[in-house]
Structure 1
Amino acid sequence: MSTEHAHYLDNPDKSGPPPQIDVVATVPGAPPAPEGAEAMTIRVTLPPKSPGAPPHRHSGPAYGYVIKGAINFELEGEPVRVVRAGESFWEPGGDVIHYQDGNHLTDEESAFVVTMFCAPGQPMLTVVSPEELEARRDRRAPTP
């Protein structure tokens, strides 16, 4: 974390300790939100073994934080990774396919909060067809 992200506000009227503000993640060079975008924040709770949403894309960038458990996270061109409680993730949106966001745990639920910047008139999530998945198969990172 750079000092430009350090947060301390001197409050002469304070009656207790100051808030603790921790930067969880930053995304340098993140893509801009679509013009006129609507910001939407949702909480997703995944039961044990839930595969999450089917392969999909978002019309704008999305920034998330796992609040409970662990999720499998896979974007087109990147290997699947496990994002655990207290860790964050982001995706650029647009043409990039989001392959996985399922529960990594088989015996407890996982949950995350995500803020998405949706293009006006677009759904927050568009499922990718099996035909497109097959046509773009070479863009998916190999699985170990």
Structure 2
Amino acid sequence: MKANRFLAALAALAATAALSLATAATAHGAGDNVKPNFSHAIPNIPGKTLTAVEVTYPPGGASQPHTHAKSAFIYAYVVSGAIESKVDDGPARVYKAGESFYEQPGQHHGVSRNASKTEPAKLLAVFVVDSSETTLTTPDK
């Protein structure tokens, strides 16, 4: 009986994670590729999930201005190319491959784009988010 409840809870968590990963792409342009990388409940922090997505921008590609889930702390690592990012009223900054940045919960992401017009760029975004949050990214209206 306990095993069945555990499997049901695990299936529900997987469904929530899949929905969260699917909604991560809503602020991205048609040429952007947002690919699920990893999602798992954090066992020693009840109610929190770690979710990672790979965002690949084509040359000149950009996301729409957006916010993330209200509970989301985000660590971003530039895998290749260069990404320009601007959060809240902070300055726009270009991060090159091997560099990283973070976003605090509730911050507005006004600029997230490939800094190059000729080369693609890839970013790994890692979210620590309330497990109940099903939308990771919401574009501005």
In the superposition, the TM-score normalised over structure 2's length comes to 0.62
Aligned to 2:14: none
1:51 matched to 2:62: yes
2:48 pairs with one of 33, 37, 54: 37
Give the corresponding residue for 1:7.
Answer: none
Structure 1: stretches of 5+ with no match in the other structure: 1-33, 130-144
Question: Alpha-carbon deviation of 1:117?
Answer: 1.6
Identical columns (%): 27
- The residue identity in structure 2 corresponding to 1:55 is H
Deviation at 1:58, TM superposition (A): 3.2
Find the partner of 1:63 among 75, 78, 99.
Answer: 75
The answer to whether residue 128 in structure 2 is matched with residue 117 in structure 1 is yes
Structure 1 position 101, deviation (Å): 1.2
4+ aligned runs moved over 3 Å, structure 1: none
Q: The residue matched to 1:77 in structure 2 has which SS?
A: coil
In the alignment, structure 1 residue 128 sits paired with structure 2 residue 133: no
What's the C-alpha RMSD, in Å, of the aligned pairs? 1.7
* Aligned counterparts of 2:62 and 2:52: Cα–Cα separation in 1: 21
Q: Are 2:117 and 1:87 equivalent residues in the alignment?
A: no
Task: Specify every segment of 5 or more residues in structure 2 that has no aligned partner in the other structure, as ranges.
Answer: 1-44
> 1:69 deviation in Å?
0.4
Any idea what SS the aligned residue of 1:102 has? strand
Q: Which has the larger radius of gyration?
A: 1
User: Contact 1:52–1:103 (CA<8 Å) still a contact in 2?
Assistant: no
Q: Greater share of helix residues, 1 or 2?
A: 2
Q: Which has the higher strand share?
A: 2
Match of 1:8?
A: none
- How many residues are treated as equivalent by the alignment? 95
